[in-house]
Amino acid sequence: MTFTTESSTTSFSKVFVSSDPNAVARVTSSFTALNVDEQLAVLWFLYTKMGRTVTPAAPGAARLQFAEGLLNDIKQMSPQDQMKAMRDLVASVNTPISRAYGVLGDNTKLAFWYQLAEWMKEGYVIGVPAGYPVSRATNQVIAEIEQLEFSQQITVLRKTVANMGIDPLA
């Protein structure tokens, strides 16, 4: 299967309610088990599908100004360096970008990835290439996230982006 924003069989507007009390932990674990590029593809897909609802759901989004310098640094990089920076964030590689990201609050991190996804759509930041081959595991994680209720989807997203980067204070 190739990757498109329409490749999902379920729309985020048609959310199923999960009765599994461990669903968030299970889906978060499934997400983190993906390789770095698969995680980036899932993030891009999720922000593309539900991006308009992520920002209002993130109370810290108003503090995105704390991430503006970091975002602009990434925006001004070459596409190859942008991809490396995003991969380093996901893999928690100890770099200046990962350390700067690590000090952001969880909701600001949520808004940070939203802004990157917006710039990907606008062509300012390298995005997932058209026709990107999506693995079975990636499709499974997307399907699992789509089965969650909206608040659980946001929690999974927040948990995954919160664990990226390097917290230099830890």
On whether residue 14 sits in a domain, the answer given is no
* Angle at CA of residue 53, ends 110 and 104, nearest 5°: 15
In-domain check, residue 1: no
Entry pTM:
0.82
CATH number at residue 50: 1.10.2090.10
* 143/137 Cα distance (integer angstroms): 10
How many domains in the chain? Answer: 1
**pLDDT digit of tens for each residue in the chain (170 aa)?**
444 444 443 444 444 444 577 999 999 999 999 999 999 999 988 887 766 555 545 555 557 788 999 999 999 999 999 999 999 999 999 999 999 999 999 888 988 998 898 899 899 999 887 788 889 999 999 999 989 998 898 899 999 999 999 998 87
Is 7 part of any domain? no
Whether residue 44 lies inside any domain: the answer is yes
Q: Does any domain span residue 17?
A: no
The reported pLDDT for the residue numbered 16 is: 45
In a domain, 52, yes or no: yes
Burial label, 79 (beta-carbon count in 10 A; 0-12, 13-18, 19+): exposed
* 167 assigned to some structural domain: no
The residue segments making up the domain with residue 138 are 23-162
